[in-house]
Amino acid sequence: MEHDVTFQDLNLNTPLYNAIDDLGFVKPTPIQSEAFNVVASGKDVVGIAQTGTGKTFAYMLPILRNLKYSRQENPRVLVLVPTRELVVQVVEEIEKLSKYINNRILGVYGGTNINTQKQAVAQGTDIIVATPGRLYDLAVSRVLQLKSIQKLVIDEVDVMLDLGFRHQLMNIFDILPERRQNIMFSATMTEDVDELITNFFINPQRVTVAVTGTPLENIIQQRYEVKNFYTKVNLLEHVLFDKATFNKVLIFVSNKKMADRLFEKLEDIFPGNCCVIHSNKTQNYRLRSIEAFESGEHRILIATDVMARGLDIDNVSHVINFDTPKYPENYMHRIGRTGRAENSGTSIVFSTEDEQDYIEAIENYMNLKIALIEFPEEVTVSTELIEEERPQIKEHYNPLKRNKDDYEPGAAFHEKKEKNKKTNQGGSYRREIAKKYKKPKTRGDKNYNKKKKRK
């Protein structure tokens, strides 16, 4: 659907139209017009959209449109979100849309008195918005019955998995009815998100909106082909040396481990210039890092995709993709952090041979080629490899462990020498005694002792 879709084009109803009028919304956002029919169709849906794109209404409009009035106590719609702030925010949004609808919405989250929430649940609800841990506790206590859930929405699933909620999600899936619609929204695609979709979704329809928020013309895009991690560090050192040009640099890496590893290296090279954010850092640490970067105190910020999703920082001179994102949407999101507000910015992507397929996917997605820059001669190509780059060795040599093949006579098999043919049957003393006296006789043998006495 095109962007000039109006709310009238979506098949809403009068209470929803009235609520939207009251809110003063003029037209649906792109994700709302894209997602409406897909969510309404009842199929599993994966939406890629960031906060601020109107994603909450993108899933709630079709859900509310189709939710019939009911007096039953058990909820029919479950919305899972990663944080309590988001529970509050999503409940507020749903309430705004439900102004002229007679429905019951309840938000529950951890860190507060569970008994109060149990009482609220017991009063009956149609839509429950929850953090995973608290939802599970309520379900286990049997106050909350999930057997009527028809629609499961998981919002900000990338953050949820990044915070380590996978196990809790699995537990919840286990107690939900199998026949349900799964609707998932994520700002970024990650391996974890991909795995979750593959394992739990049935032929999901994908809904994506362009996520840069920045016209591509404002961004100069370049790429280098680089051998490995250490060579990438050398190249990074080379380019970042030009402090005047590279004055506000956002470096993206795909995971926390890499973020820490790179931070350590860059701190060595440019002491006091760098900061880092990822989900294992405390909220305070992350806020301080972002502030230091924003104010220019530190010119380099290293971030993972998931953590950088909400970043809205002006005048980023360069985005450096230290690795090539596997999912083109992530690349779009990364590069959109520069070239904002009519400024121009530069994006540089480093890619190894293994990452060439991802480059192709990104170029196809944008329908645009990224300019290849020749690898600078003066940069040292390292031959040292990090753990992940080394060829995988399945198991270390273990002389005590034998596998099946060792026992099967192969080319080197020959008859054992006579002395080696003996087998160990254990208990040699007892065998000797038995040979001598026919029966085992030990002091502990009750019958032997009895017989002896009788004699």
52 is an interface residue for ligand AMP by CB under 6 A: yes
Question: What residues numbered 90-129 form the site for ligand AMP, per CB under 6 A?
Answer: 93
Q: Is residue 318 close enough to count as binding ligand AMP by CB under 6 A?
A: no
List the end-to-end C-alpha distance of the chain, in Å, as a whole number: 107
Q: Residue 83 interacts with ligand AMP (CB under 6 A)?
A: no
Contact 33, 1 (CB under 8 A): yes
3-state secondary structure of 435: helix
Pick one of 36, 57, 327, 331: the residue that binds ligand AMP (CB under 6 A): 57
Q: Is 89 helix (H, G, I), strand (E, B) or coil?
A: helix
Place of tokens 């080197």: 412
Q: What is the spatial distance between Cα 232 and Cα 269, in angstroms, rounded to a whole number?
A: 13
Give, in order, the Cα–Cα distances in Å from 265 to each of 282, 288, 311, 386.
Answer: 21, 20, 24, 13
Does residue 285 belong to the site contacting ligand AMP (CB under 6 A)?
no
CB nearer to ligand AMP: pick between 187 and 226: 187
**Which C-beta is closer to ligand AMP: that of 28 or that of 339?**
28
448 contacts ligand AMP (rule: CB under 6 A): no
For residue 28, the minimal CB distance to ligand AMP (Å) is 5
Rounded distance, CA 118 to CA 356, Å? Answer: 53
SS3 call for 153 = strand
Q: CB of residue 155 vs ligand AMP: minimum separation in angstroms?
A: 9
Interaction mask 335-374, ligand AMP, x per CB under 6 A? ----------------------------------------
Q: Does 54 bind ligand AMP (CB under 6 A)?
A: yes
Which position among 10, 16, 19, 28 is part of the footprint of ligand AMP (CB under 6 A)?
28
Q: Which stretch binds ligand AMP (CB under 6 A): 21-29, 134-142, 264-272, 335-343?
A: 21-29
Q: Which stretch binds ligand AMP (CB under 6 A): 48-56, 165-173, 202-210, 384-392?
A: 48-56
Closer Cβ to ligand AMP, 97 or 236, answer by number: 97
Query: CA separation (Å) from 387 to 258, 324, 349?
Result: 11, 18, 22
Buried b (16+ CB within 10 A) or exposed e, 175-188: ebeeebbbbbbbbb
Instruction: Tell me which of 18, 51, 83, 247 binds ligand AMP, using CB under 6 A.
Output: 51
| Shortest reach from residue 57's CB to ligand AMP, in Å | 4
Shortest distance (Å) from residue 81 CB to ligand AMP: 11
For position 151 contacting ligand AMP by CB under 6 A, the verdict is no
Residues 262 and 321 sit within 8 Å (Cβ to Cβ):
no
State how far the Cα of 49 lies from the Cα of 140, in Å rounded to an integer: 32
The C-alpha atoms of residue 15 and residue 28 are separated, in whole angstroms, by 16
Contact yes or no for 296/245 (Cβ under 8 A)? no
* Residue 56 binds to ligand AMP (criterion: CB under 6 A): yes
Least distance (Å) between residue 187 CB and ligand AMP: 10
**Using CB under 6 A as the criterion, which residues of the chain lie in contact with ligand AMP when the complex forms?**
25, 28-29, 32, 51-57, 93
